[in-house]
Structure formats: C-alpha cells, structure tokens
Structure 1
Amino acid sequence: MPKGVSCSVANCSFWKEGNNCGAGAINIEIDQHAGANFNEEFAGDELGLFHQDEAKQSKSTCCLTFKPKE
C-alpha cells in the first residue's frame, strides 16, 4: 500500500495501527454508484460502464475498500 493513506475506521479489516490503511489497493466511487455490482460480465459499452464521473466535493465520494473485521 502506498505510504500516506490514512484511515480512522478502526473496525475495517485493513485498518492498521496509527490510522494506516493496509489494503493492497483502494477503490473509491461516486456515492450514486456505491451500490453498483460490477462483478457480472456484460458488454461495458452497452451499459455505460466505461464512463468517467466527476465529484465536485470529497463528500460526494465513498471508499468501497472498507471490509468490516470479523
């Protein structure tokens, strides 16, 4: 994980001591797509999956990397 990625969500399985994120990668999405399931295989062009979104404010985004500790 790149240095400098800070997270204060202590109940995430990737959370490490000192507010460091231990995930191998971070997935961030626009809130309106947060519940989308991208695991199925479809023709991306038909569904518009290759479009790019813009967030005007950071609060319009969410981190989809979060996975609660078991």
Structure 2
Amino acid sequence: MPQGVKCSVSNCSFWKQGNLCNAEQISIDIDQHASAHYDTEFAEEGLSSNHHDRAENSSVTCCHTFRPKS
C-alpha cells in the first residue's frame, strides 16, 4: 500500500478517512494517454505499461488508479 499518498477524490474506491489512498499501487500517466487501456495487450512496438514519457509539469498528468465506489 502506498505510504502517505494524499487524495481528495472521496468517491474513489481506494479513498479512506484522512484523505489517504488505500490502493496497493498508483498508476499515473500524461494526459495524452488518458484514454489508454493498460489492461489490453499490445504488440511489442505498441504502448505498454513500461512505456516512458516526460511531463513538463504536474498539470499534464493524470491518475489511472481511480476507480469509483460502487
């Protein structure tokens, strides 16, 4: 479980009291890949979970870990 990861999205299934994230792992990517499906397999030259990008600042990033509470 990530230690001390703060989050204010209270409708996420990983959100817990005190604004802490209870996810086992956090997945973050740049907004350009916001609609990427990391649970889908691609050919070796395709986008994979091991790809690397550079973000110029935090405003171009997004968290893929979010899962709405059911």
On whether the aligned pair clears a TM of 0.5, the verdict is: yes
Q: CA RMSD in A?
A: 1.5
Which residue of structure 1 aligns with residue 25 of structure 2? Answer: 25
Structure 1, unmatched stretches of 5+, are none
Of all paired residues, the percent bearing the same amino acid is: 57
Contact between 2:26 and 2:64, CA under 8 Å: does it hold in 1? yes
Equivalents in 1 of 2:22, 2:47: separation in Å?
Answer: 32
Equivalents in 1 of 2:41, 2:12: separation in Å?
Answer: 28
Contact between 2:2 and 2:23, CA under 8 Å: does it hold in 1? no
Secondary structure of the corresponding residue to residue 32 of structure 2: helix
Instruction: Give the structure with the larger helix fraction.
Output: 1
> Structure 1 residue 44 and structure 2 residue 44: aligned?
yes
Q: Which amino acid aligns with 2:22?
A: G
Q: Compared with structure 1, are the counterparts of its residues 43 and 10 closer, same or farther at alpha carbon in structure 2 (3 Å cutoff)? A: same
Query: Under a length normalisation based on structure 1, what TM-score does the superposition of the two structures give?
Result: 0.85
Query: Under a length normalisation based on structure 2, what TM-score does the superposition of the two structures give?
Result: 0.85
Structure 2, unmatched stretches of 5+, are none
Point out the structure with max Rg over C-alpha. 1
Q: Deviations over 1:29-62 (max 9, x none)?
A: 11000101233323222x2545421000101000
Equivalents in 2 of 1:2, 1:39: separation in Å?
Answer: 21
What count of residue pairs does the alignment treat as equivalent?
69
